[in-house]
Amino acid sequence: MDNDSPLLTALAHDLDGSFETLVREHQDRLYSIALRLLGDPRDAEEATQDTFVRAYRALGRYDPVRIGELRLRPWLATIALNLCRSRLGRRRPARSSLSLDAPLPGDVEPRTDADRGPAEVAASHDAVSDWAGLLLTLPAAYRSAVVLRHVDGLSYPELAVALERPEGTVKAQVHRGVALLRTAFEAAERREREEMTA
């Protein structure tokens, strides 16, 4: 991307002097990716830290031409994604999305205002944890695709690079993931309404 150019030039010629700028510019998005993939803030912070450390070491090995050709957003997202995947792989036996600790979809406080639209709901804190909980129930491939596209805002071409899949495949994964989330959200809402009228 064009707006990467000054930073890439700086990274290529003075990695130590410019690396902090890279961290400042990408820490929120990479932390958001990790948090939404892993669900646990402590884990997400560690995964994000590891992402930057890997990036720093890789940049130290790359020659200036290679750094100049990098697309920072998808490149960093790929590193974060791989680190999150290996963390999920390590902890799977201890903690799955169905464990007692994990928030179950729809397991939220009863809403006082049942008429609020989803966009409004999404702005409130409860809704954030609600949607975050739903996201964690998605199969990993869909979760990664949705997080990178709609939480992080990568374009489809960038997503194809980050996920190392054809653009058509990642598009289908994103659409399927969004559809699954919508269904899960509606089911949770239905359950809630039934509980309130029961």
CB 183 within 8 A of CB 149: no
Among 38, 81, 145, 147, binds other proteins (CB under 8 A): 147
Question: Which residue, among 137, 44, 66, has the nearest Cα to 98 in the 3D structure?
Answer: 137
Looking at beta carbons only, is 22 or 161 nearer to other proteins?
22
Looking at beta carbons only, is 16 or 101 nearer to other proteins?
16
Determine the size of the site formed for other proteins (CB under 8 A). 46
Q: Which stretch binds other proteins (CB under 8 A): 62-70, 75-83, 98-106, 143-151?
A: 143-151
CB 135 within 8 A of CB 143: yes
Query: Which two tokens mark 81?
Result: 């994604």
User: Per rule CB under 8 A, is residue 47 in the interface with other proteins?
Assistant: no
Among 80, 131, 158, 162, binds other proteins (CB under 8 A): 131
- Cα–Cα distance measured from residue 54 to residue 2, given in angstroms and rounded to the nearest whole number: 23
User: Per rule CB under 8 A, is residue 186 in the interface with other proteins?
Assistant: yes
Looking at beta carbons only, is 46 or 167 nearer to other proteins?
46
**Phi-psi category of residue 70: left, alpha or beta, with phi > 0 → left and psi -120 to 50 → alpha:** beta
Q: Which stretch binds other proteins (CB under 8 A): 83-91, 98-106, 165-173, 176-184?
A: 176-184
Task: Show the site string, 1-40: x = touches other proteins by CB under 8 A, - = not.
Answer: ---------------x--xx--xx--xxxxxx--xx----
- Cα–Cα distance measured from residue 59 to residue 70, given in angstroms and rounded to the nearest whole number: 10
User: Per rule CB under 8 A, is residue 122 in the interface with other proteins?
Assistant: yes
- Cα–Cα distance measured from residue 118 to residue 131, given in angstroms and rounded to the nearest whole number: 10
Question: Which residue, among 110, 152, 107, has the nearest Cα to 130 in the 3D structure?
Answer: 107
User: Per rule CB under 8 A, is residue 48 in the interface with other proteins?
Assistant: yes
Q: How many helices (DSSP H) and strands (DSSP E) are in the chain?
A: 10, 0
- Cα–Cα distance measured from residue 169 to residue 39, given in angstroms and rounded to the nearest whole number: 25
Residues binding other proteins (CB under 8 A): 16, 19-20, 23-24, 27-32, 35-36, 41, 45, 48-49, 52-53, 56-57, 117-119, 121-123, 127-128, 131-132, 135, 146-147, 150-153, 175, 178-179, 181-182, 185-186, 189
